Amino acid sequence: MTLLNPIEVVPANEVGPVHFIAIGGSGMSGIARMYADLGIPTSGSDQSDSSTLRSLERSGIRTYVGHDASQLGDAATVVISSAIRADNVELVEARRRGLRIWHRSAALAALMVGKRAVSVAGTHGKTTTTAMTAVMLAEAGAEPSYVIGGPLSTTGSSSAVGSGEAFVVEADESDGSFLQYPTEIAVITNVEADHLVNWRTPEAYADGFRAFATRPAVKYVVINVDDPGSRSLADDLEGEGPQIIRYGESPDADIRITDVTPDGNGVRATITFGEDSGEIRLQVPGNHNLANASAAYGAGRILGLGHDAAVEALGRFEGTLRRFQLITDTAGIRVFDDYAHHPTEIRAALTAARRATEAGNEATGLPGRLIACFQPHLYSRTVDFSDEFGEVMTMADVAVINDVCGAREDPIPGVTGELVVDAAIKHGARDVHYVKEKYDLPDALNELARPGDLVITLGCGDVTIVGPLLADLLEQRPEAGAR
């Protein structure tokens, strides 16, 4: 996979029938649904069947399991992701027929034409911040359009076509997609090197965010000044053209968070912007979510929301799937699932999990432990960050490491989850287990967990299957029937 170059797009209503290759992916499915909602004939294929395909089919989208050239039908535009290989038979046929071939970012950009576009970028926190912004605007009556990288926990949907002027998108930096969007309000949550298989160097990665913030359409940059990488970028951008709005707990933040206090399963604080100041109370935990909410608040204020309306609407945000998502509370054991897959994201998730563990101990009187189950994602990322993964896993009382989920990458000899195990032991972890096969994880966790413990599964691959399977095992415990 290489970095993408922005291209000129036509508005979505001019693309004709559109076909999505790998339509079942979290990013592709949301965009496809929006094309269908606009009345554009839409079809798509995926390698395997899924509940997502069935849901798309109920939305009027023609779906196929497997890839075949005949499935293009009368498509005029074919949409692909960076994971689609050049020899995919449908892509080969689209090229042979001379059809318009767009990366998913171009298909999304076409939907954004004519809207006030809010693009949320950053190494971490994109999905939650995008979701918070979309929910805030919707709850305040602004009827936004949005595309989020993960479904909202309340609706199960990751996209919507709204009648309002705002269009909120999660802007992926991994392959340069974020440079494609006609962004008016650029939100940058942080800048910390990742995806170096594409960007090659940390300096090039940081330069990509600078290019994103200085695209011709950008008028505002809402940026986190608690993070060293994005603070450095904010300083560099002063006087460049767009208006810079800084947020965070730092004293020089324009949108400043103070008086942070855990609040049950959530968190509360004081948020101040100019002469406006008051309490913000979130239903999701952690300082990192207060930072995400501050970014959403900034975008909302630019789009015309008042202070009270923005804060009240953010308080109604209930999270997205796979972001510190409670799977079960059974037999005295709580099981959470989180998408965190970078060392910084894992640190934030485990910090929130530790607080939840301690709060549970106080409530039940049980000496519960924090058990972290981590599945590394991508061989290249495991090579780049195995030491950091090992170090952050020492935050848990018990660490369970799975083998690498390679996803779109071919295996690299010698790169397995054992690299993380070795690093964790080197950094002082005392209770570390390597479970190679993911389907063995539920049994392993069930044997390890005892009443009072909090178990959290971590990773952006298929480790998400583990929590529900573990929940089934916990239901069979004698303690489960004593509730």
Tell me: do 82 and 146 sit in the same domain: no
Is there a single domain that holds both residue 208 and residue 150? yes
> Known catalytic residue: 127?
yes
Coil, helix or strand at residue 139: helix
Which residue is listed with tokens 């999990």?
Answer: 353
| 305, 366: one domain | no
Any known ligand binding at 127?
A: yes
Q: Is 155 annotated as a binding residue?
A: no
- DSSP letter at 192? -
Catalytic residue among 77, 127, 129, 320: 127
- Whether 304 has a binding-site annotation, put simply, is no
The Cβ-side half-sphere exposure at 376, using a 13 Å CA radius, reads 33
- C-alpha 50/C-alpha 44 separation (Å) is 13
Residue at token pair 């650029």: 186
Active site residue 126: yes
66 is in an annotated binding site: no
* DSSP β-bridge partners for residue 246: 223
When divided into structural domains, the chain yields a total of: 3
Query: Is residue 191 located within the same domain as residue 285?
Result: yes
Please indicate, yes or no, whether residues 100 and 118 belong to a single structural domain of this protein.
Answer: no
CA angle 13, 19, 23 (to 5 degrees): 115
Any domain includes 349: yes
Looking up residue 332, the CATH number of its domain turns out to be: 3.90.190.20
265, 287, 314 - which closes a domain: 314
Q: What is the DSSP letter of 288?
A: H
Would you say 133 is a known binding-site residue?
A: no
Q: Could you give the angle at which helices 343-364 and 379-392 cross, rounded to 10 degrees?
A: 40
Domain boundary residue, one of 314, 345, 368? 314
Q: Enumerate the H helices of 369-417 as residue ranges.
A: 379-392
In a shared domain, residues 334 and 254? no
Residue given tokens 């709060």 in the structure block: 359
Q: Which residue has the tokens 């796979």?
A: 322
pLDDT of residue 1: 52
The per-residue pLDDT for 409 is 86
Report the pLDDT value the prediction gives residue 119, as an integer from 0 to 100: 98
How far is the C-alpha of 299 from the C-alpha of 146, rounded, in Å? Answer: 14
Whether 201 and 302 map to the same domain: the answer is yes
- H or E element in which residue 120 lies: strand 116-121
Compute the distance between CA of residue 381 and CA of residue 272 in angstroms, rounded to an integer.
38
Is 410 inside a domain boundary? yes
Known catalytic membership, residue 170: yes
Which listed residue (52, 63, 115, 126) is catalytic? 126
What CATH number does the domain containing 187 carry? 3.40.1190.10
Structural domain contains residue 109:
no
Could you tell me if 236 and 93 lie in one domain? Answer: no
The verdict on whether residue 125 carries a ligand-binding annotation is yes
Best CA proximity match to 234, nearest among 281, 190, 172: 190
Decide which of 314, 348, 383 is a domain's last residue: 314
Same domain, 145 and 267: yes
Per the CB < 8 A criterion, the answer to whether 417 and 376 are in contact is yes
- pLDDT at position 366: 77
Where the chain has pLDDT below 70, the residues are 1, 321, 363, 481-483
Q: Which structural domain, as residue segments, surrounds residue 269?
A: 114-314
Same domain? For 302 and 362 the reply is no
Tell me the C-alpha distance between 476 and 61, whole Å: 40
* Residue 2 covered by a domain: no
Q: Are 119 and 90 within one domain?
A: no
In the DSSP assignment, the letter for residue 224 is E
CA atoms of 139 and 133, how far apart (whole Å): 10
Which residues lie closer than 8 Å to 37 by C-beta, 6 or more apart?
59, 161
Instruction: Find the catalytic residue in 90, 170, 184, 192.
Output: 170
Is position 422 within any domain?
yes
122 is in an annotated binding site: yes
